[in-house]
Structure 1
């Protein structure tokens, strides 16, 4: 009798409708992956083997497979929302229990950990105080909100043009005086920082002197460079003179007559920080590339390598998972890196609900790495991966499953009529 086939068909159609209904219900669940009921035919076993005319006894559900295809990526206003574009899963930790997710809707908890809606911690590589990642075993990511320590200045670089048309100043008659603009041609300043992050103004002055005695034709010219810190002329030797720059007739620095950078410049401070700035080695001042052309004095670039302390003002997550902190002093520092995990057989993962899966013997061991490496996709911050459910396709599948259910019900009805005919035989 074919009641068994019809009943198994009804059961299979019901399971298919269950899977379709679950897909439709989660069409707006971020990171959700659609499921598909897969079926297999059933044959009775025989001691003498299966014959060529053997009829099957119905259908069974062989499995419910999730479809790990890419979902659409939608932008969001939360910088901690992260979408995976490609393969891999976020690696989550709930008090040491590791789970995996595609839903990248995260926020910070009160302790600075990056967590999902269930409170599980996002894992990755942490960075030390110097921004160097520890790429050993992944651990819970924590955003360090401590102030960025200051960095003491050690080098100043300047790229200038000194006006060759300026008349030389006879320093025997008009010696340099920091308070008398008539004793120098031009000046510029830059902020430098001591070991406590305090800012100090380093001012440099440029005085064109007469052509060198060994150059009566005037094919070379030299500029004396003086310096002060916080308005006070640098101490001896030479009452603030830190060096000289000699130019050739083409306006470039004559490297044979000029030694750059000016080294061991002592900048004393009285703030309780290390004095002089830079310690016994002082700081260096490099004018490489400076020119002397027949045009106005100009400062083309001026910089130094120190900075004050800064507070964390925000952070962002790059495509490679690097978490970069932005500080109020204009600096940035690496705070950590998000890692992804992948599996040889993602369909072997065990769904646990709450948008997470657990590894199993069927999935294989996790393969952990940085985003964009191996089979792992890249990340997109301020974005969320939508469900990969195609509602149009699911509605069509629902109609098909309904017809499948009706057809199997009809086979039971027909078999009932046949049986009724046999019972009524005289």
Structure 2
């Protein structure tokens, strides 16, 4: 009996050493989760059970369980390195074979798919033709590396202040090259269908004349040129013009301004529309000849929104300005937020959603089957995966440019080595003692 008990103890101590050694070996493995050997005592039993004074029969390895507590987050220089802070696993596919991992070594392959260091493709929600994330449709995440197509400008939105104390220009007629013929000006880039940038310049001319009968107040002219040319006729330098009226409190009088005109003003909305712009290019001659560059403007024209502009007794200032067109862009980099949304940044300053990383969790993570390469697969004991986006439900957040370190605590493991070694020696001593006792019996005469 003592031989078998001691032998079971040796086996148990060996298993403990193996588990501890594996933990130590993977102390530097990203996403690794340490294991522990769990032992149980053994008693001989018959059909009717054991006696109340039964002697033990040794020890058995009950289970080797993994501890899925959080590892430290270690920041790297790779934007596609991902760490999970909280619950969940990355879902990867190896030609359709699904596995789960906490190791976030990711990059792109030659086809733009996001893959880990073993070539397994990261799973997530892709995008449709309009760039919207397709929630619930799990697929291989792929980065579109092609150039971003240009977009023609459809809207220009501005808020500015015209100085009410400025005097009307003394020199007429309007000449964009002569600052004495206008009061102030501002410019913004607009884009045609091919992504060519053009400069739309607005000139503001104060028409106020308190000495007139009746007095003219709060009245301005806005002249618009594109690339210094007439928007609809590049051969001409005559601007498109419209009158701007302001109320006594300095706010823009959108209802009182005349409808239509060269900028197609709509009093009902307070918006103007540059709907006859012809994108042009110069031949570089002296004098220069301007003609259509072969591109087109937005089919619906360019909405010009100056609502919110004012005429106060302060210096001319453009408080805000924006337009929604852009030129073509090349992929410059990737960013992933803490909810897993992947953004592609382009050289034209634009960004585009490329997809969203998903995470999977299980009712019993201890039931997952380890398959090596810091991965696990689903088993009957683990249950079905619960899939969602990071930060949803009980799933953790993503940290881009970082990796989760192994959760192995080396000091604990080194102490475990000492304990396992002592246990091995003690059980070997049990066998040695039983051998001595047996030898004594054999030597009886």
TM-score range (shorter-chain normalised) is over 0.9
Name the structure 2 match of 1:143: 143
Q: 1:402 to 1:250 in 2, by over 3 A?
A: same
Q: Distance in 2 between matches of 1:332 and 1:352?
A: 38
Within 1, Cα distance between the matches of 2:438 and 2:47?
Answer: 29
Q: Please tell me whether residue 193 in structure 1 is matched to residue 203 in structure 2.
A: no
- Give how far 1:143 is off: 1.0
Whether 1:402 aligns to 2:421 is yes
| TM-score, with structure 2 as normaliser | 0.88
Q: Is 1:296 the equivalent of 2:293? A: no
- Cross-structure match for 1:227: 224
CA contact (8 A) 2:254 2:307 kept: no
Aligned to 1:7: 7
Give the 3 Å change call, closer, same or farther, for CA 93–212 of structure 1 in structure 2.
Answer: farther
Question: Does the 8 A contact of 1:266 with 1:283 survive in 2?
Answer: no
**Inter-CA distance 215–91: structure 2 relative to 1 (3 Å threshold):** farther
Q: Distance in 2 between matches of 1:174 and 1:81?
A: 64
Q: Offset of 1:302 from its aligned partner?
A: 2.1
CA distance 1:286–1:255, shift in 2 (3 Å): same
What 5-or-longer segments of structure 2 have no aligned partner? 258-266, 280-291
Q: In the alignment, is residue 332 of structure 1 matched against residue 351 of structure 2?
A: yes
Which of 368, 371, 393 is equivalent to 1:374? 393
Helix, strand or coil at the partner of 2:6 = helix
Q: Counterpart in 2 of 1:364?
A: 383
- The equivalent residue for 2:111 is 111
- Give me the whole-angstrom Cα distance separating, in 2, the residues matched to 1:74 and 1:321: 18
Deviation at 1:255, TM superposition (A): 3.9
Match of 1:176 among 174, 192, 215: 174
Secondary structure at the aligned position of 2:136 is classed as: coil
Q: How does 1:17-28 map to 2 (within 5 A)?
A: 17-28=17-28
In structure 2, distance between residues paired with 1:144 and 1:212: 61
Q: What is the CA-CA distance between 1:381 and the residue it aligns to? A: 1.1
Q: Distance in 2 between matches of 1:266 and 1:336?
A: 38
> Aligned partners of 1:13 and 1:180: how far apart in 2?
94
The CA distance in 2 between the partners of 1:416 and 1:228, in whole Å, is 107
TM-score, with normalisation over the residues of structure 1? 0.92
Mapped pair 1:56 → 2:34: no
Counting only pairs closer than 5 Å after superposition, residues 131-170 of structure 1 correspond to structure 2 as 131-169=131-169
Give, in whole Å, the separation in 1 of the partners of 2:426 and 2:5. Answer: 11
Q: 1 CA distance for matches of 2:240 and 2:107?
A: 56
Q: Which string of whole-angstrom CA distances, capped at 9 and with x for unpartnered residues, describes residues 95-137 of structure 1? A: 1111111111122222212222211111111223532112233
For residue 214 of structure 1, report the CA deviation from its aligned partner. Answer: 11
Residue 251 of structure 1: aligned partner:
250
Which of 271, 283, 293 is equivalent to 2:293? Answer: 271
SS at match of 1:58: strand
Give the 3-state SS of the residue equivalent to 1:23 in structure 2: helix
The answer for unaligned runs of 5 or more in structure 1 is none
Question: Is residue 2:261 matched to residue 1:261?
Answer: no
CA separation in 2, counterparts of 1:223 and 1:36?
Answer: 81
Residue in 2 that maps onto 1:210: 208
- Separation of aligned partners in 2, 1:347 and 1:398: 24
Tell me by how many angstroms 1:175 deviates. Answer: 3.9
* Maintained 8 Å contact 1:211/1:221: no
Of 13-22 and 45-54, the range deviating more from structure 2: 45-54
